[in-house]
Amino acid sequence: MTGTAEGDTTRTSGAPTETETVESAAQSRFAVPDDAVLALLGSRDENLRTAEELLDADIHVRGNEVTLSGNPADVAFAERVFAELVVLAGRGQHLGADTVRRTVAMLSAGSTESPADVLSLDILSRRGRTIRPKTLNQKRYVDAIDAHTVVFCIGPAGTGKTYLAMAKAVQALQAKQVNRIILTRPAVEAGERLGFLPGTLFEKIDPYLRPLYDALHDMVDPESIPRLMQAGTIEVAPLAYMRGRTLNDAFIILDEAQNTSPEQMKMFLTRLGFGSKIVVTGDITQVDLPGGQVSGLRVVQDILQGVNDVHFSQLNSHDVVRHRLVGSIVDAYDRWQAAQDAKAEVRDPHRRGAVGQARRGR
């Protein structure tokens, strides 16, 4: 590389260095390893365009050389982003526009954890596809599962609550940390309508357990699932089937836990046996319990908060890993609900306590 203009910072290795300032402007120039250039730029320069949209520094790429210029703080932040992306590319990770967005989001949040470490944490691999956390909160959730016996994960739809728990369960089974996986969820939506559905009991409840089967098929060879279920290595059953049992050496997942009553939640948690781990997932904004009944997932936070070896993980719209629009939809509904509550309070100030109580019981 030839010499640089005054105020430039030149680097010939794979990550940016410190930036010098000239009259409140800064410029940093560094080289990207040849085998990482294509991954860094992305298909049809998609990653580069995304970085240009999200970063305030000006970005210029020529060959394998990247030049950043602009406000010193903006250049320094862009350096950090590109350094993380170079590390990911060097680890052979696929880089897409979402990777760039998530890296920028994590660094913007002021996290001390490296986005490259978060986004390269492999949980499970099957047929060339690897399951890993995609946000900092997801990584903390996964780490909590490793560190605690009982973990609650509360968050909106699309944040990977159940999917990551399933991946950790399969990982634990493959590593022989447990002897079986038990997946359960309440069939509250069915209510008394079960009696009107055709078929056997299992055929009637199958639609309510289908999301668990779908996730399982992504992680375990579909041809082996019937055999594993017949042997009891994997069990998928409605919550009512847990009563009276003690579950030893098992990884147990309770999905859609917002639809449990406090009594059902207590019943489920006390099934915990030796050598077992429990993960409870749910969204307290989507309670389907009849008659305004209090959600067991909502009250358990107050009951078990501070109990040793019990952990509560919170995910939010920033952790949505479905289509980007899903996060915006979640935020829009939250704003709408807040506005509705504010209007109700203006119309009748005495309803404030009642509205809060009703929302806590949803």
Q: What are the C-alpha distances in Å from 11 to residues 30, 32, 59, 81, 122?
A: 4, 9, 16, 16, 31
- Would 146 be classed as within a structural domain? yes
pLDDT at 144: 97
pLDDT at 193: 47
- Would 255 be classed as within a structural domain? yes
* Residues 210 and 171 reside in one and the same domain: yes
CATH of the domain at 83: 3.30.1370.10
* Residues 19 and 88 reside in one and the same domain: yes
Task: Tell me the residue type at 272.
Answer: L
- For residue 59, what are the contacts with CB-CB under 8 A and spacing of at least 6? 48, 51, 52, 66, 67, 68, 78
* Residues 328 and 291 reside in one and the same domain: no
pLDDT at 13: 44
Compute how many other C-beta atoms are within 10 angstroms of the C-beta atom of residue 157. 14
> In terms of residue numbers, what domain contains 219?
136-322
pLDDT at 335: 86
Ranges under pLDDT 70 in the chain: 1-24, 128, 188-206, 208, 322-324, 327, 348-362
Q: What is the pTM of this model?
A: 0.77
Phi, psi for residue 146 in degrees, rounded to 5: -70, -35
pLDDT at 10: 41
Q: What are the C-alpha distances in Å from 186 to residues 32, 236, 277, 300?
A: 52, 11, 19, 16
Query: Whole-angstrom Cα distance, residue 136 to residue 112?
Result: 10
Phi, psi for residue 316 in degrees, rounded to 5: -140, -170
- Would 94 be classed as within a structural domain? yes
Environment class of 40 (CB within 10 Å of its CB; exposed 0-12, middle 13-18, buried 19+)? buried
* Residues 272 and 344 reside in one and the same domain: no
* Residues 56 and 160 reside in one and the same domain: no
pLDDT at 355: 44
